[in-house]
Amino acid sequence: MARGQDIQIPLVVGSILNLINQGEVLWGAAELFIPHVLLNYPVPFAVSLFSAMQARAQSRPVSTTVRTADVRPVVSARNPGRRTTD
Pick the more confident residue, 65 or 23: 23
Q: What are the φ/ψ torsions at residue 83 (nearest 5 degrees)?
A: -110, 135
pLDDT 10s digits, 3-46: 666 678 778 888 888 888 888 888 888 888 888 888 888 888 88
Confidence band, pLDDT 50/70/90 cuts, at residue 74 = low
* 13 in Cβ contact with 44 (< 8 Å): yes
Of 24, 18, 54, nearest to 37 by C-alpha is: 18
Q: Is the pLDDT of residue 81 over 70?
A: no
Q: What residue spans define the domains of the chain?
A: 3-58
- Count Cβ atoms within 10 A of the Cβ of residue 10 and give its class: 0-12 exposed, 13-18 middle, 19 or more buried: buried
